[in-house]
Structures are given as C-alpha cells and as structure tokens.
Amino acid sequence: MNKKQRKMLIRIIIALVMTIALQFIETEGWLRLSLYIAVYLIIGYDILKKAGMGIVNGRVFDENFLMAVATIGAFSLALYEGSGDYLEAIAVMLFYQIGEFFQSYAVGKSRRDIAALMDIRPDYANIEENGQIVKTDPDDVEVGTIIIVQPGEKIPIDGVITEGNSSLNTSALTGESLPREVQTGDEVVSGSINMTGVLKVRTTKEFGESTVSKILELVEDSASHKSKSEDFISRFARVYTPAVCYGALALAVLPPLYQILFNDVAFGFNAFETWIYRALIFLVISCPCALVVSIPLSFFAGIGGSSRAGVLVKGANILETLSRVKTVVFDKTGTLTHGVFEVNAMHDPHDHDIEADKQRILELAAMVECSSSHPISKSLQKAYGKPIDHSRIHDIQELSGHGITAVVDGQKVAVGNEKLMHKLGIEPCACSHVGTIIHIAVDGKYVGHIVMGDVIKPHSQEAIRQLHASGVDNTVMLTGDTAAVADRVAQTLGIDKVYSQLLPADKVTRMEELIASSKPNEKVAFVGDGINDAPVLSRADIGIAMGAMGSDAAIEAADVVLMDDDPLKISKAIRISRKCLGIVWQNIIFALAVKGLCLILGAFGIANMWLAIFADVGVMILAVLNAIRAMYVRKL
Amino acid sequence: MNKSFKIEVDCANCANLVENEVQKVAGIKKVNISFMTQKMKVEFEEGADTEAVMANVLKVAKKVEPDFEIL
C-alpha cells in the first residue's frame, strides 16, 4: 500500500465509523445536517475538487462530475423534502471511494505481481579486481570481461563459460522447469539463475544488448501497443459519459414536463422530485470505470502470465489477433524438426554405397559449405568432424535455394540440390532413399551424393494434435526440402497441407496466398526459427519465432517469441490469448448488461440508490477480479 | 528522438485522458502513456527543445489530472 492508499483507507474508516455511529445517535435539524456534511466532506472532498477543476478546465463529463452531481443532488433532495435522510448521499460517495480504493489496491498489487513474475533484471555483476570480488553495475561491464557468478545469483550478461560447471535454472526465461547442465565452453544467457557451482563467464555482449535487457524492453513496450478492444472502450467512454449526463438531464426534465403539460400536474418542484431522484440513480449506475480499468488490466495480466510461461507477446493487439488464428503455417527445419541432420548414407553416381572414398566426399562437402550458417552445412561439418583449413578454399558462391560452389585445391566443386546440378548442366543421379540429398560435382563431373535425414522433435506430433484440438482448422508446412521428405514428415505429424521445394521467396508468396484465401476474421500465423525466414515472419498476420533465446534478429522480426524451441508452446500461446480475450469480452458484456438493466430499472423507478451502487462499484470489483484471472496460465 | 519517463498516474482512464491532451503539445510527435507499467514514452519532433516540451507536458497533464507526476 502506498502513501495515498493509506490516507484513503484512513478516510474510508473514519467516514464508515461516523456513518454507523450517526445511525444510532438521535440528532435533528441543523446539527444532523452539519454532521452528515462533515462525513461527506471527509470522504468526498477530493472528488468535489476534481469535479470543480474539470469544469474550470472545460472537461465536464468525467466520473468525478457524475459522482459530485449525484451526491450533491441526493443531499439537496433530502434537504428539500426535510426527511433528514442523508444516508444515501453518503453511501454513494463512501462506496464509490471504497470501490476506487479497492481498484487501486488490486491493480497496484497485480501490477507488482506481474512485475515480480518478470523480475529477471540482474542488479549487479561480479568482477574480480586484485583477487577481490567487486560488485559493479552491469551497464559498466565491457564486452570480453570475465565475470563471476556465484550459486544463487542471476547471470547478468550473455557470455561463454571459461571456468566451472553448474546447472542453470532458466525457468524465468523459458518457463522450462528442468535445470540445464552447463560446463566450460558453453554459452549462457543472462537472466538464468546459477544453481550449484561458481562460474566464470567471459561476456560476449553489452548489458543493453543481452537477452535479459531485450526481453524486458519487449515486455515493457508490449503494454504500449493497445488492442482494438481497448481503443474501442476509450472511444466508447468519450461518447458514453456525456451521453449519459444528457440522458440523466432528459430523464429529470422531460417526463415531469410532459406530466405538467398533458396530465394537469401542477407546476412545481413536487412534479420534478421523483424524476430528479431517478436521474441521480441513473448517473451513479452509468459510471464507466469497470470497463476502462478492467480491459487494459486483462491484457496486461495475460501478457505477464504468458511471459512467465516463456511466451513473449509483443502487445495487446497481438494477443487479440493471436486469439483469432485459424491457420498455423510451419517452417519445417528447426521448427518441427531439430534442424540437426545426420548423414544416413553416401552414394556414388550409380546409387551404390560408397565404401572407399567416404571421407574424401564428406571433406569436399564440408569445405565448400564451411562458411554457410544453413543447418545442413553445420551438420555436414559436424559429420566431417575435423577442423577445416580455410586457406584451401577460394571463390565461395552461395546460390540461395540451390547450394554452394567453391574452388577447393584448384578444383571447382559444387555442393547442393538437384536444381544446382541442373543449373550447372550436370545430370545428378536420382537417389532411392528418402531424405535430403546433397549432390556433389567436381570440375563439372558428378561424383555422388550424401543422404541426410532430419530428426523430428519429440513434441511436434503432440503440438499439431493440440493445435487442432484448440480450434486451429488448418495446419500447413512450408519447406525448401524435397517432396518425398516433406510428405513423410507431414504424414507422421498429421499436418493438413504441405508445400515443398520452395525457395525463400516462394515461402512469402505461399504465405500471401494463404492470407488471401482465409476469411478476414481468421488469422494466419507463421512459426519459424527466425534465422532464414524473417520475411515470412513479418508477412504473416502473426509471426512466431521459436528458440529465440539469444537471437536478436528473431526477437525483432516476430510478433510472438517462444523462448525455447518446444512446438507445444504454440498451442499454449493461442490458448493463453483465447483465455485473455474471453475474459475481456466477459467483462464488457457483463458490465454493459448489468448497467443497461439497472439503467432501465432506474428510469422506471424500480431500482433504488443501493442497487445503483452495486451496478457501479460491485460490477467494477467483479470485473477487476475477473481480469486478474488472465495472469494464471500455468494449467492451460 | 524517443525518451521514456517513469510516471505516477492513478487510474487507467486518467492515463488515457492525459495521453490525449499531451498528444496536442507542440514538439510532441507521439506519446504513449501506460497506466500498467507507469511509463510514458515520448517521441519528440525533430529539433524540439526536450526540456521545454516536457515542462509543457507536465503543465498540460497536471491540468487534466492533478495527481499526475513525472518521476
């Protein structure tokens, strides 16, 4: 509770005690009035002040104005009637303030809870100076400095371990509760917590560029992208409040005038009395706070909860679009499969197994591909397993979607797919195996091919099943791989549609076709690893990048970032967004329905002031409590 | 130029109102006030005197919402 809230609480308690006491003490006339006015001022002076300032500054219709008019009106009416029943005026103000207090407390508390969920910001970095460990501001640590991370501390800056081994808790980043074992030479990302051993880490980035800073920036920014429902409500409130005020005025004036003119009711205050009272009730009911507060709170809670689960959503508008996703398009390599290829077979030009020259062929392929970051290139180098002498390789040329040519030891070597061979006028041998086939030609002569197989991620099948179960009608896979491989993967996983043998540009075209062919309300999401598919990521209605920990490019290009590379998170993200939007609509409908009903009842004189207080304060409290639910996403 | 300020604002609606008014201050290209994160992001016009603009912003904001503070 902050200072303002404490002060408010004291005022509420004093006013409450005095009001109750006044019910038991017999007082009359001016004494009674002045006591009630004292209570009224204690509880409501700030509202009156704000309402007055609003009028002075030309902003008349806000909730302070509504409350001031309603309570002063109720007071005057009681005074005029001489009933001495000032309780209603006090009650309206008291409960309004209780509601405001509750709202400010609940919102502040959930804001802190959500901030705590995302509390991954490290406060310091340990540096060794003359044998002493010194705590320094992570912002001051230069790239390449050795920092020391003790057990229980957060890793402050991205880097590589130079000494020590330990297990890391990355749950704040990825939502993954299993600790990750690390040892010397491993890369570590900031924000993970060192659990067991002392680590020495050589930093590879500045603090501002480290994963933890990027994530925090993203999450904090996300709150500033407003959703359509938020926009709708703030526009709505701008029209709604004046409309209600004029409505109340009309209610106070028109029916009595009608009665005076046509029903022979004598002109006088008596004719207006009931209608003024109804108009005041009308004003109390109509306060739009429940909507204005609960909707941004729902989105904020949803975004906070999902970042806790390792799903970073870049804004409320994204969460909204995500909930309407009906088609999910996957990149194959690195998304549904590990993107780590194994050499399954090596064949000569006649499709027979190579026995003798195996190492030579592999060496050529690895050398030509030595500078490429494509998963296949990396896997080839891994399969070769020896260091590469770069001085033997010249003139490396990469043909996107085809392969690579280079000069190795003076020989022109081409390594790539069938298209590359055709382009160079070489007739490749069709392989009998299913897999990714890497053809190799030396000096324009075909020497054989390597068959590589990708490994499907263990959760991919379950992920597709869950997507279908959570209402995604259409799953599509885009891949540059051959039809045989693509079809086999799709069949294993249960994917509806496959487009294979695509060049990177084709993927964008296919994505555009898919967007064009879906209904305007049904959104298309693309899931990729963010390395080669940034154009598709940004073209899709929702771009989801996975395994993004440490990859800035992916964080920039995508709308939703999955911190680890588990495809199950995709359906989780969609379910989180559905829950959040569900809550938003529950609140909109609930608040409007209750208020609408009470307004009608109030206009016909059926609702009294107490019901009006419920329609205002009660509805707001319920809506805020409902909104906070969006934060709990663990079981989704 | 973009700048981010920590602010204190009491309610979501006040934040919206302040945002609408501050948007009209000369020298401000775009402003975004988040009640949830208690932050104000300001994008200034090219060559604007940021200090003077911010003094105006505070004045305008205070007029709309007396409890608004820039920390």
Residue B35: pLDDT band (50, 70, 90) is confident
Q: Identify the residue with better confidence: A507 or A225.
A: A507
Residues of A in contact with B16 (CB under 8 A): 234, 237, 292
Q: What are the start-end ranges of the E strands in A109-262?
A: 125-129, 132-136, 146-149, 159-163, 166-169, 180-182, 187-188, 193-194, 199-203
Question: What's the structural domain count of chain B?
Answer: 1
Cα distance between residue A404 and residue A414, in whole Å: 6
pLDDT exceeds 90 at position A524: yes
Give the separation between CA B18 and CA A271, rounded to whole angstroms.
41
Report whether A184 contacts A165 (CB < 8 A).
yes
d(CA B31, CA B16): 11
Q: Is the pLDDT of residue A268 over 80?
A: no
Between CA A65 and CA A96 the distance in angstroms is: 13
- Mean pLDDT confidence for A1-14: 87
Q: Would the CA dihedral through A591, A596, A597, A602 be positive or negative? A: positive
Instruction: Give residue A223's pLDDT.
Output: 62
- The per-residue pLDDT for A531 is 65
Q: Which long-range contacts (CB under 8 A, 24 or more apart) does A373-381 make?
A: A373/A531, A374/A532, A375/A333, A375/A334, A375/A339, A375/A340, A375/A341, A376/A341, A376/A436, A376/A438, A376/A452, A377/A404, A378/A340, A379/A340, A379/A341, A379/A342, A379/A343, A379/A452, A380/A341, A380/A343, A380/A438, A380/A450, A380/A452
C-alpha span between A290 and A63 (Å, rounded): 11
Q: pLDDT tens-digit profile of A333-369?
A: 778 887 777 787 888 887 777 776 777 888 888 888 8
Q: Helix or strand or coil: residue A393?
A: strand
- Name the pLDDT band for A530 (thresholds 50, 70, 90): low
The range of the structural domain enclosing residue B56 comes to: 2-70
Chain B closest-CA separation from residue A300 CA (Å): 7
Q: Report the residue of chain A nearest B20, measured CA to CA.
A: A234
Give the pLDDT band of residue A105 (cuts 50, 70, 90): confident
Kindly determine whether residue B35 and residue A237, on different chains, have CB atoms separated by under 8 Å. no
Q: Is A121 an 8 Å CB contact of chain B?
A: no
Tokens of B65: 């919402």
For chain B, say whether A58 makes contact (Cβ under 8 Å): no
Instruction: Give the end-to-end CA distance of chain A in Å, rounded to a whole number.
Output: 31
A67 or A234: which leads in pLDDT: A67
Q: How far apart are CA B10 and CA A46, in angstroms?
A: 13
Determine the distance in angstroms separating the CA of B16 from the nearest CA of chain A, rounded to an integer: 7
Q: Is A4 in CB contact (< 8 Å) with chain B?
A: yes
Instruction: Classify A142-205 by CATH class.
Output: mainly beta
On whether any CB of chain B is under 8 Å from the CB of A630, the answer is no
End-to-end CA distance of chain B: 20
Q: Identify the closest residue of chain B to A58 by CA–CA distance.
A: B64
Contact (Cβ atoms closer than 8 angstroms) between residue A251 and residue A203:
no
Residue A139 DSSP symbol: G
A481 contacts A500 by C-beta, under 8 angstroms: yes
A104 at interface of B, judged by CB pairs closer than 8 A:
yes
* Secondary structure letter of residue B2 according to DSSP: E
Calculate mean pLDDT across residues A264-289.
80
| A266 CB-side CA count, 13 A | 3
Mean of the pLDDT values across residues A420-429? 85
* CB contact (8 A) between residue A50 and residue B41: no
Q: Give CA separation, A444 vs A309, A366, A419, A440, B46, in Å.
A: 53, 18, 14, 10, 58
Please judge whether A104 and B11 are an interchain contact, meaning their C-beta atoms are less than 8 angstroms apart: yes
Mean pLDDT of chain A: 84
Residue of chain A whose Cα is closest to the Cα of B13: A292
* pLDDT at site A578: 93
CB atoms A220 and B37 under 8 Å:
yes
Closest CA of chain A from B37, distance in Å: 7
Q: Do B39 and A288 make contact, defined as CB atoms within 8 angstroms?
A: no
Specify the pLDDT at position A465: 93
Nearest CA in chain B to A59: B64
- How remote is the C-alpha of A490 from its chain's centroid? 29
Residue B66 in contact with partner chain A when CB distance is under 8 A: yes
Q: Find the closest chain A residue to B21 by CA distance.
A: A59
For residues B28-53, give the mean pLDDT. Answer: 84
Between B17, B39, B66, which is nearest A53 by CB? B66
Q: Is A289's CB within 8 Å of B13's CB? A: yes
Q: What pLDDT was estimated at residue A374? A: 74
Report pLDDT digits (tens) over A20-69. Answer: 998 888 777 788 888 889 999 999 898 898 888 888 877 667 778 888 88
Say which range, A79-88, A220-229, A322-331, B29-38, has the weakest mean pLDDT: A220-229
| Domain A313-330+457-572 class, CATH top level | alpha beta
What digits encode the pLDDT tens for the residues A546-578? 876 556 666 777 889 887 778 888 999 999 999
Asked if B59 is an interface residue toward chain A (Cβ–Cβ < 8 A), one would say no
Location of structure tokens 């002076």: A45
Beta-carbon contacts of A145 under 8 Å, excluding residues fewer than 6 positions away, are A127, A202, A203
Q: Is A36 on the interface with B (CB under 8 A)?
A: no
Nearest CA in chain A to B42: A224
ipTM of the modeled complex: 0.76
- CATH number for the domain running over A338-455: 3.40.1110.10
Angle between helices A289-308 and A568-603 (to 10 degrees): 170
Q: Determine which helix (DSSP H) or strand (DSSP E) holds A341, and give its type and residue range.
A: strand A337-347
* Lowest mean pLDDT segment, chosen from A177-181, A318-322, B51-55: A177-181
Cβ of A63 within 8 Å of Cβ of B13? The answer is: yes
Q: What angle do CA A309, A314, A318 make, to 5 degrees?
A: 100
CATH at B50: 3.30.70.100
Q: How confident is the model at residue A325 (pLDDT cuts 50, 70, 90)?
A: very high
Q: How far apart are CA A365 and CA A381, in angstroms?
A: 8
A137 is catalytic: no
How is chain A split into domains, by residue range? 142-205, 313-330+457-572, 338-455
CA distance A488 to A491: 5
Using an 8 Å CB-CB cutoff, list chain B residues near A220: 37, 39
Exactly one of A62, A158, A331, A541 is catalytic; name it. A331
Contact residues, chain A, for B64 at CB < 8 Å: 57, 59
What's the pLDDT at A32?
A: 86
In this structure, how many other beta carbons lie within 10 angstroms of the beta carbon of residue A323? 21
- CA distances to A152, A187, A309 from A211, rounded to whole Å, are 19, 12, 16
Residues of A in contact with B35 (CB under 8 A): 296
Residue with the bigger pLDDT between A28 and A411: it is: A411
CA distance A580 to A627: 8
Chain A partners within 8 Å of B63 (Cβ): 57
Q: How many CB pairs under 8 A join A and B?
A: 50
| Amino acid A115: pLDDT | 67
Question: Within an 8 Å CB–CB cutoff, is residue A61 touching chain B?
Answer: no
Q: Best of B5, B10, B13, B17 to disrupt the A interface by mutation (most A CBs within 10 Å)?
A: B13
Rounded CA separation A535/A228 (Å): 25
